[in-house]
Each structure stands twice: as C-alpha cells, then as structure tokens.
Amino acid sequence: VSSSGAMSTGGKNQITISKRNSTNGHSSGISNHLIGPSTASITGASRFGYALSNGTVGVYEKLNRVWRVKSKHSACAVMAMDFDGDGVAELISGWDNGRVEVRRANTGEVVSRDHLTSAVSGLLMADYRAEGRDQLVACGFEGEVRGYLPIDQAASQDLLRRQTPALTSGGAGGGGGGGGGGGAAGEGSTTAADLVELQQQLADLAQRKQELQYELMSYQSFKIAETSKQPSSTAAMVIPGDTRVDSCIAINRLTSSCDLILSTSNGTLIRGAVIFGEQIFPEESLLILSRVSGSSLLVSLQPLKDVSVVLMMKVLVGHKSYPNFHVFELEIELPKFAMYAHLDHSSLQSPEPKSSVTFQIRERLNRLNVWLEARFNVKVSKYAGINRSGNGANGVGGVGGDSNNGSNNNNNPDTLIQVLVPSNTQEGILECCFLSLRSKMPLIFQIRPLGAILQVTLLCDDIDLSGELLQDLCAFLGVEDLNSRAEFPQQMEAFKDVLAAVDEQSATRMKLGADMADWGNLVKVLMVKAEDKRVMGDMKALKRVYRKLYDLIRDLIVEHEKRHVNHAALLKALKEVNLMIQRCSRLRVGPSKTKMITAARTAVKENNMAALFKIFTEGCGPIVPGVSSVGGGMGLIGAG
C-alpha cells in the first residue's frame, strides 16, 4: 500500500490499493440505470440521491428536489458517506470517464474529485486497512482500485479554525454586554454547525472572488482593445448604457406553439441566446444564433407536458461589426397551461365538450382570476365587473396575445382581453374558453356565482387534463376537501369494455386453472402406473405409459402458455381499472378523494359495477348543485 495524490484535499487522504490489467474482457460500455438501494439514505430517511442514464445526479428530500447536476457523461455508481467529517453524509458518484466526485447533500457543492484511468465499476465503503473506520473504495473497469481516507471530524474542525481565524474570533464571542466571558467561551467552543457555516461563507467568498477576477480581466482586455483603436470605432463598439432586453411569451396558432420573443429597447442587435428550461428542450438547454441580426429574436416553444418552468436566458447583444457581445441574463416564467390559447366562444370551430366536472368552492371571483393569470398565458384584472384586461409585455406580441392575429391591438396597453364574459346560452353564467394547441381540443370554464359560493363547471373531454386543472386550482386556493360531479361518457363507455375484459379473462383463468388441476392429477396417476410397470418388468406397458405421459406434459405446456397469456391480459385490464380509479380520484381532493378510492376498490372486489360507476360520477356521496351551506353540497371548503 503506497500513498499518492489526494482527490483535492491533500496527499495523505488517498491510498492506492492495487492496479492490474483487465483479462476478462470488460468494456467501458456501462449499462446506465437508476441506482438502487444504495441511494436510499443520504441524510436520513427523508433524503435520497439518484442517478439517471442521461447523466443527471441529484438529491431529493421527500417530493422536493434539493439540487441536481447534469453531465455529458453517465453515472455508473452512487453511494452516501460522510467524507469530510462534518457529521452529514455526502453524495459520492462514479462516472464512465473515471471521475469520482464527492458532493454535499444539501447544496451539491463539490468537496473532492479524482479521476481513475478507466470507467468506474463500483463504489463501496469498507474498513480495508483494519483501523476501525471505513474508507471509500473506488473500483475501475480495468482493474484499478483506489481507496480514500475520509477526513475525521476533529481534523476537519482544526483545519477550518486555522483557515478562518478572523471569522471564528469575530463571530464566536458573546454579543454586547456579555463582557469577556462571552468571548472566552466562543474561542474554544465553536460548534460543528458554526464551522460548517463558516466553511460555506468561505466558499461563497471564493466564488465571488473568482467572478470579480473574471470581470476585471474582461474590463482590462476591453481597455487594451479600446486604446488600440480609433475613438470613432471605439464608440461604435460600446452599446448604449440604457440598453434593455425585454421578453414576453405570445401564442402562435399557426405553428401551435408559444413564441418567446426577445427584443432590445434601442435597436441594438441580438446575435443569439442560450435558454435553459427543464422538460422544455430535449437536452434542457437551447442555443439560438440569429442568421439575420436584428433587434428582436423569436424562439418557438412546444412543451410536451403541462409544467410551470422558469426559463433562464443569456442574451448576446452587440453591434454588427463588433465580434464581442454583451451578455444579458433574464428570467421569465412559462405558465403551466401556456399551450392553451384564449379565444371567444363564438370562434370555436370544434364542437363543445360533452364531458364535464362540476364543483363548488367558497371563494371570491377575483381569486379565480388570479389563478387564470398565474397558470394560463392570460393577463386578467378587474374591469367593469366581469370584463378583464390584459396588457402586452413591452409591446411585443403581448402576454396572452396572439402573435399571428393580424392586428396591432396588442401594442395598445389599454386593449382589453375578455377573459370571463357572460354566456350566450345560459343566463347568469360567466365563461372562459381556451383551445389546446396540441390536440385542438376546446376547454371551457363556466362559473355561476351563488352568493358567497362559486359553482365551477369545467367542460373538457380529457379526464387527465380535468384532474390536473382541478388539483392545481385547489392547491392554489388552499382547498383541503373537495367533492365533485364528474361526467365523462366516452371514458365510461370505454371503461365498460375494460370491465367486460376483466370478467372474461377471470372466467378463462378459472377454467384453465381447473383443467390444469385435473391434468395434474392425471400426471400423478400415470407416474404411479409407470413405476408399477417398471417394478413388474413390463417394458412394453411402461413405454405406453411414458408415451401417454409425454403427450400429457406437452399439452400441459401448451395450456401453461395459454394461462400465461391470459394472466398478462388480466393484469393489463386490472391496471386499466386501477388507472381509471386514480384518474377519477384526481377529480376530488382530501378526505373526499380517500373515501372515493376506498369505495371504488370495495365495489371492484364485490363486483358491483353499478355502484362503481356511481362512485366515479358522484364521488364519496350524492352531490346537490347549488347548496350554499358549509355542511352539504358539492365539496365546500371545510365540508366533512
């Protein structure tokens, strides 16, 4: 065992155990998958680390993602270990390019890094040197094995105290009137949490120092270029100090997309942009270079899922003849349901949806407007009781506007967007219509004010979209219990076929099981007969029995294959049943959702299909539209 260079914390922390050439034909083509049980306990039961085949490594705390990083390489192994002695386990990852990284579980900051000569085959924690403490062992595909000694807590604290004497002495003493006693206590009793905080402060200061150094180098290089050119050309290189880059999102029905529009305030040229957005682009980032330089840039966005994403942009702005650019960093939020264009009911070309979800909430109408503004690509505000207005952002397309409508109304800040308007067919109802840019399916909100209660009817033929809208609305309004009346005739008709398939497959399964049981008993009888013939020495009769037994076993194999196909079809049908229960449960919230799931599963077990369809429609109980009391009606907030 010999010592060699450390990952990044000093030579004494790494030991090279052995190295040999590969003789078993291992290849660097590693199968990438989600790493299993070793990622289930980073810092307690509530956190777990993960690695994906696309090169993403990160940490989740329950349902919330703490951090993640993405690389062009693939992770081969991950594990958790307290490597830096701070009492909190770090996430250690091994990659197909031989890199071994140790990252903090709470921030993702790199603590240590090293490179093997081949792809990492595995990571493990073991007391290899029999010293009573574990070491990190990394194994390569070509036989290389390296061990790393973790920093013990005492050494880590001593090192940090030596590196931060000013911070430790300045922040450890008692405050104000504590006198000398507080300062003395602070000098020798710095806790591990204080040391971790001081270390984080050091890391932040180092990062800030590096950014300032890069900025200073940029200014120096620009100063050199400025002195080497004529004053007129220098002035032409610098963009005006009041340059501003504006951004907005506009609906484009011709391309069925959302257009992200970037524009400058004074005619300077946009040469390109780098956009980062999760679940929007295939690689979660996009580089756009303008072929024809202009003061505006348009990027078409077509998200496949309804997710709310904050788009982070770096826009390159400069002059046509100047090779260097000024970088503007912007952020804009893409609404969750941005792929739904707002339009008037009279302009709907598709037939009105036949499916609907109806529920009641004790909420103000203005709160519903705020939700529409936050989740759809629509700006709403109170105007003349029921009319709503929307202003175009920075005069380009307009947020919620239509980028191909052929009019200039969006450039007028006083243009009104009628979001909730009186219905043409039903009196006393306000409605709002949208059109899906993906499926061209209409989506209609109908709201009937009933005093302090709003009765909301959502007309949509997509049960999944209806559930997503209802869940998002209830989460936004803070609704804890909500029942609804759901009518989806097309889905229910299709579900009847699924239930018929379940009954048919179940009957076939029972019949096949009974037949195979009879044939199994016949096999036992033939085996006994064959043994008797063998003992008696009757070889001819023994051959006849064996021939019958062979034919019977061959038939059993065929029947077993039939049973396997039947079992797979039954499982598929049962999954469809469970999926429909989940879809219908998303049309309810809180205890009503739990009761609905329990009642539906009970109806399935009892084979009571009439009760099952009633549960899907009415939820956990009968719904009386228009009831204004808190104790009854359609899922009022606080209803039992």
Domain assignment present for residue 339? The answer is: no
pLDDT tens per residue, range 38-63: 343 454 568 888 898 888 899 998 88
Q: Is 589 contained in some domain?
A: yes
Across residues 500-524, what is the average pLDDT? 87
Please report the pLDDT score of residue 211 as a whole number. 84
Mean pLDDT of 444-465: 90
Task: Enter the tokens of residue 221.
Answer: 């290089």
DSSP SS3 for 613 = helix
Q: Give yes or no for residue 119 having a pLDDT over 80.
A: yes
Tell me, what's the pLDDT at 576?
Answer: 93
At 398 the pLDDT is: 33
When pLDDT is cut at 50, 70 and 90, the band that residue 162 belongs to is low
Last residue of a domain, which of 106, 126, 154? 154
What per-residue confidence (pLDDT) applies to 331? 92
323 band by pLDDT with thresholds 50, 70 and 90: confident
Q: Is the residue at 167 inside a domain?
A: no
Is 498 in the same domain as 611?
yes
179 is a domain residue: no
Give how far Cα 35 sits from Cα of 11, 58, 68, 94, 315, Å. 30, 12, 15, 11, 37
DSSP state of 194: H
In the predicted model, is pLDDT for residue 274 greater than 60? Answer: yes
Mean pLDDT of all residues belonging to the chain: 75
pLDDT at 456: 92
Domain that residue 135 falls in: 38-154
230 or 141: which carries more pLDDT confidence? 141
Residue 77 maps to a domain: yes
Identify the domain boundary among 115, 139, 154: 154
Q: Do 498 and 604 belong together in one domain?
A: yes
The pLDDT confidence band at residue 595, using thresholds 50, 70 and 90, is very high
Specify whether 497 is located in the same domain as 612. Answer: yes
Residue where a domain stops, chosen among 315, 334, 353: 334
Detail the DSSP E strand segments found in 141-197. Answer: 145-148
| Edge-to-edge strands, sheet with 64-70 | 47-51, 56-61, 64-70
Residues 404-452: tens digit of each pLDDT: 433 333 333 333 344 565 665 566 788 888 999 988 899 999 998 888 8
Domain-embedded: residue 186: no
pLDDT for 44 equals 56
pLDDT at 16: 30
Judgement on whether residues 147 and 250 belong to the same structural domain of the protein: no
Q: What is the CATH number of the domain that holds 257?
A: 2.60.40
SS3 of the chain: helix, strand, coil, percent, to 5: 35, 25, 35
Asked whether residue 239 is assigned to any structural domain, the reply reads: no
**Whole-model pTM over 0.85:** no
* Mean pLDDT for the stretch of residues 626-636: 33
Q: Are residues 603 and 500 in the same domain?
A: yes
What pLDDT score does 386 carry?
A: 30
Instruction: Examine residue 295 and state whether it is found in any structural domain, yes or no.
Output: yes
Total tally of structural domains belonging to the chain: 3
Helix axis angle for 489-536 and 539-585, nearest 10°, is 160
